Each structure stands twice: as C-alpha cells, then as structure tokens.
Amino acid sequence: MSALSGILGSATSELVLRALDAGTARHAVHAANIANASVEGYQPLRLEFEDQLAAARSALLSRNDAVARRAVAQLEPRVAPDASAEAVQLDREVALMMENSVRYQALLGALGKHGALLRLAIREGRG
C-alpha cells in the first residue's frame, strides 16, 4: 500500500486505500462467520471501522490537509465479537458479504478514475 499511496499522495486517496483494506478484512470476517456457523457456541465477529471512517471523512471535509492526514493515518479496522448476535445467520452474512463486494468495487472504480485523472494531468490533457 505504501508505494501506491506515495504515488497518489492525497489524504483522500489514502482514505480510499484504507477503506479497501477494511473491505478485505470485512470480507474475511464474513467468511469466518459463514465457515463457523455450525460450530456450537461460536460468537459471530464484526469489523469495527464505520465510526472511524466517518470521523476521517469529516476531517477531510474540513479542508485542513494536516488534520485529514492524521485522521486517515489513525484508521485501524478492528475485529471484535458481535455482542448483539447470538448465532450466525447465514442469509444475513451472505447479504453483508455481497454488500461489501459492491462497496469494494465502487472504491476500486473511484481509485481507477482518480488514477485516470492523474494520467491525464501528467500527459497535459493529451489522450
């Protein structure tokens, strides 16, 4: 991630890269929940990241680059037991996994468009 973030450079790009990392971790959490659905006493897991992401997004909107970079640098997804869930609900986990896949694809698309804009700028607008 560091080589790519060095090329892209902005706090927004770093936020997208962190969100992609969280998407990968979230996918692993859903996969673990599905794999352990039949294990007696298994406590479903969840990824804690949304509140951190909202705070980083607010920092980005403040237009203060130093504050935004600090907020993004502190983002760290955490896997924790889901205290509100008693057992794994397979339909819910599969739906959440599919939702995560759609979000991940959207983030990849945004990163790709950002890269295309950078390429256009480097080529000085020449296709």
Domain boundaries, the chain: 2-122
Per-residue pLDDT tens over the stretch 98-123: 999 999 999 999 888 888 888 888 88
CA distance 111 to 77: 20
Per-residue pLDDT tens over the stretch 28-62: 999 999 999 999 999 999 999 888 888 888 888 88
Asked if the model's pLDDT at residue 1 lies above 50, the reply is no
pLDDT band at 2 (very low <50, low <70, confident <90, very high): very low
Q: How many CB atoms lie within 10 A of CB 87?
A: 13
Question: What pTM did the predictor assign?
Answer: 0.78
Tokens found for residue 83: 């205290």
